[in-house]
């Protein structure tokens, strides 16, 4: 079953709101996520249900079907492969990705994606540290802890973020905090939870508790 770009965006939203949750997704939740009106959501839910992508009972909320989950992972895979390309090859910054990958994720060509995957060296994680589904929708995962959880003199490698907001990503770019960078905890302030870091074995950087809780690291 083939989907339009709009349908793909809704499906992706329904899937992502649903991961790690028991109940169904509400119309208002989706409207908020997709920056649209509840009435538009209702219209689209009917279409996606008719196409077998979601289970939808009116007034009762919505969840993806097996077919819908497969499709959502396919779209996610396309998006993330493009994101790796944009960062690794074209050197775009974190906060410049969203707008572009929102478009590129809909360019649907198995051959293109297979070649891009190969060209990128079969990456397992996107530039935000999230796993990239393979052709079958399977994902690797590795232990990620908030930077805040690192203790004094412990070090780790930055592998992702919890917050994809433009303001946060801009801050990180400016602070020189990127994927793959090594950090060592020079100081932890009990009073406010802030930290001082040694970045890349050379530069010192203070960060607040809030920032530290939104950066994910792989501890050494």
Q: Is the dihedral of CA 5, 7, 74, 32 positive or negative?
A: positive
Tokens read off for 56:
């939808």
Pick the closer one to DNA by CB: 1 or 189. 1
Q: Considering CB under 8 A, how many residues would be counted as binding a copy of itself?
A: 17
With contact defined as beta carbons under 8 Å apart, do 38 and 31 qualify? Answer: yes
Tokens read off for 217:
């690291």
Paired sense of beta strands 145-146 and 215-219, if any: antiparallel
Q: Which partner from the list Mn ion, a copy of itself, DNA, none does 102 bind, CB cut-off 5 to 8 Å by kind?
A: Mn ion
DSSP label of 8: H
Pick the closer one to a copy of itself by CB: 5 or 164. 5
E strands of the chain, at which residues?
54-56, 62-64, 145-146, 155-161, 182-188, 195-199, 203-207, 215-219
How many angstroms from the chain centroid is the CA of residue 198? 26
The contact mask relative to a copy of itself for 13-52 (x = CB under 8 A, - = no) is ----------------------------------------
Smallest gap, in angstroms, from Cβ of residue 31 to a copy of itself?
24
Smallest gap, in angstroms, from Cβ of residue 132 to Mn ion?
17
The reply on whether position 109 binds DNA by CB under 7 A is: no
The reply on whether position 61 binds DNA by CB under 7 A is: yes
Distances (CA, A) of 107 to 70, 79, 188, 209: 17, 9, 46, 39
The contact mask relative to DNA for 118-157 (x = CB under 7 A, - = no) is ----------------------------------------
The contact mask relative to Mn ion for 100-119 (x = CB under 5 A, - = no) is --x-----------------
The contact mask relative to DNA for 26-45 (x = CB under 7 A, - = no) is xxxx------xxxxxxxxxx
Q: Which partner from the list Mn ion, a copy of itself, DNA, none does 44 bind, CB cut-off 5 to 8 Å by kind?
A: DNA
Smallest gap, in angstroms, from Cβ of residue 106 to a copy of itself?
8
d(CA 178, CA 157): 10
d(CA 137, CA 87): 23
d(CA 156, CA 147): 8
Q: Which residues bind DNA (CB under 7 A)?
A: 4-7, 9, 26-29, 36-47, 56, 58-59, 61
Chain positions contacting Mn ion, by CB under 5 A:
9, 102
């Amino acid at each position: 079953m083939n989907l339009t770009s709009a349908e793909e965006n809704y499906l992706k939203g329904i899937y992502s709101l649903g991961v790690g949750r028991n109940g169904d997704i509400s119309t208002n939740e989706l409207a908020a996520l997709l920056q649209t009106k509840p009435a538009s959501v209702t219209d689209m839910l009917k279409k996606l249900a008719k196409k077998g992508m979601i289970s939808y009972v009116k007034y009762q909320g919505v969840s993806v079907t097996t077919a819908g989950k497969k499709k959502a992972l396919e779209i996610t895979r396309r998006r993330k492969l493009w994101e790796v390309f944009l960062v690794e090859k074209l050197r775009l910054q974190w906060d410049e990705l969203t707008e572009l990958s929102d478009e590129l994720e809909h360019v649907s060509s198995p051959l293109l994606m297979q070649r891009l995957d190969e060209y990128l060296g079969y990456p397992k994680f996107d530039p935000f540290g999230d796993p990239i589904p393979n052709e079958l929708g399977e994902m690797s995962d590795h232990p990620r802890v908030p930077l805040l959880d690192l203790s004094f003199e412990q070090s780790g490698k930055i592998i992702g973020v919890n917050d994809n907001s433009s303001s946060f990503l801009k801050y990180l770019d400016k602070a020189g905090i990127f994927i793959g960078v090594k950090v060592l905890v020079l100081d932890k302030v009990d009073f406010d939870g802030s930290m001082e870091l040694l970045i890349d074995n050379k530069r010192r950087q203070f960060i607040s508790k809030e920032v530290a809780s939104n950066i994910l690291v792989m501890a050494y």
